[in-house]
């Protein structure tokens, strides 16, 4: 199947959308089945590992995909086509109509903002954990790390380059996302409110817990995606995976 430049553009844009719980891209998790572009009308077909994947998470990803596509400028419309999901109709209708989650699922106990915030906070901690482990490996002492500000560490990371620079960029992006300050001496190692930490090993252990959850879930996702290709999982639609 030929892939047009516009299809490629759309695919690149939505591939960067992340599963909010696992903090990995929908491309890495293999959720995108097809991208169709007719003139300036975009349709994205998405299939998740199971029929029962939580609709609030799906809704977040679908909203993000819509925003990523519309940000390209040329698309006049975006249609989400979630398939093989218990709430496909509601989610497709909600996202395509630009409706809030609470309106589509009036029974929900809480809206999505709180959920999004909590995922961002967890992602911030996990990225901080990754960064701190790399800094420790580079020879920096715990006592120094507990007190150092973002300007100093940012400079060091950019200078060193490689995975340290990448980890720094990822950390900084989430730091901004959850609204932490950007003052030179604002602490690199902190809780989600920016408050200092006394005990680095204990702090890293807490982060490890958050990250264990995310990884266990991410691995389950990937295993289910793989199993579905081998004939396990949802048997409703027998059609194979379409190349975008």
Partner 1 sequence: MYVTENGEKIFVIDSHVHVWDARPQNRRNHYGQTFIDTFYGAHVALTPANQRWDADRFNYYGAAGAAKDLFEDGYCDMAVMLPVYLRDFYINGFNTTELCATLKDLHPEKVVLNGRCDPREGQMGLDKLEEDFETYKFQGVKLYTAEWNGVSRGYSMKDDFVAPYMEKCRSLGIKNVHIHKGPTTHPLDYDAFDVRDVCVVATNFPDLNFVIDHCGMPRIDDFCFVAGQEPNVYGGLALIPSYLHARPKFFARMLSDLLFWVGPDRLLFGSDYAITSPKWIVEKFMEFEFDDETAHEAGTQLTLDVKRKIMGLNAAKLYGIEVPDEFQLSKA
Which residues form the interface with partner 1 (CB under 8 A)?
21, 49-52, 54-59, 86-87, 105, 107-110, 115, 205-206, 208-210, 212-217, 219-220, 223-224, 226-228, 230-236
Q: Closest approach of Cβ 13 to partner 1, in Å?
A: 25
Closest by alpha carbon to 142, among 195, 211, 196?
196
What whole-number distance in Å separates Cα of residue 35 and Cα of residue 2? Answer: 12
User: What DSSP string runs through 4-24?
Assistant: -HHHHHHHHHHHT-EETTTTE
In terms of Cβ atoms closer than 10 Å to its own Cβ (0-12, 13-18, 19+), residue 224 is: middle
**Long-range contacts of 217-223, Cβ-Cβ distance < 8 Å, separation of 24 or more:** 217/21, 217/22, 218/19, 218/22, 218/24, 218/29, 220/49, 221/19, 221/22, 221/29, 221/49, 222/29, 222/30
- Using the minimum distance from each CB to partner 1, give the nearer residue, 6 or 116: 116
**Which letter, b or e, does each residue of 168-204 get, where b requires 16 or more Cβ atoms within 10 Å of its Cβ?**
bebbbebbeebebeeeeeebbbbebeeeebeebeebb
- Using the minimum distance from each CB to partner 1, give the nearer residue, 81 or 217: 217
Q: Closest approach of Cβ 116 to partner 1, in Å?
A: 13
Q: Closest approach of Cβ 228 to partner 1, in Å?
A: 6
Q: Closest approach of Cβ 239 to partner 1, in Å?
A: 16
Q: Closest approach of Cβ 110 to partner 1, in Å?
A: 8
Q: Closest approach of Cβ 53 to partner 1, in Å?
A: 8
Q: Closest approach of Cβ 112 to partner 1, in Å?
A: 10
- Using the minimum distance from each CB to partner 1, give the nearer residue, 159 or 235: 235
What whole-number distance in Å separates Cα of residue 129 and Cα of residue 76? Answer: 41
- Using the minimum distance from each CB to partner 1, give the nearer residue, 113 or 152: 113
- Using the minimum distance from each CB to partner 1, give the nearer residue, 9 or 56: 56
């Amino acid at each position: 199947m030929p892939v047009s430049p516009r299809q490629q553009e759309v695919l690149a844009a939505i591939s960067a959308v992340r599963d909010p719980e696992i903090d990995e891209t929908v491309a890495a998790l293999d959720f995108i089945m097809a991208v169709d572009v007719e003139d300036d009308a975009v349709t994205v077909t998405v299939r998740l590992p199971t029929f029962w994947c939580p609709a609030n998470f799906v809704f977040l990803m679908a909203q993000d995909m819509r925003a990523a596509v519309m940000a390209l400028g040329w698309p006049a419309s975006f249609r989400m086509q979630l398939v093989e999901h218990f709430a496909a109709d509601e989610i497709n209708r909600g996202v395509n109509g630009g409706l809030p989650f609470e309106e589509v699922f009036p029974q929900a106990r809480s809206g999505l903002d709180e959920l999004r915030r909590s995922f961002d906070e967890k992602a911030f901690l996990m990225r901080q954990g990754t960064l701190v482990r790399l800094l420790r490996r580079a020879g920096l002492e715990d006592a120094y790390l507990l007190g150092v500000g973002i300007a100093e560490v940012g400079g060091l990371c950019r200078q060193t380059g490689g995975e340290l620079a990448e980890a720094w960029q990822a950390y900084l992006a989430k730091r901004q996302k959850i609204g932490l300050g950007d003052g030179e001496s604002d602490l690199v190692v902190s809780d989600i409110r920016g408050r200092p930490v006394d005990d680095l090993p204990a702090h890293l252990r807490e982060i490890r817990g958050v990250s264990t959850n995310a990884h266990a879930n991410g691995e389950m996702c990937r295993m289910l995606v793989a199993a579905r290709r081998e004939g396990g999982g949802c048997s409703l639609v027998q059609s194979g995976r379409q190349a975008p």
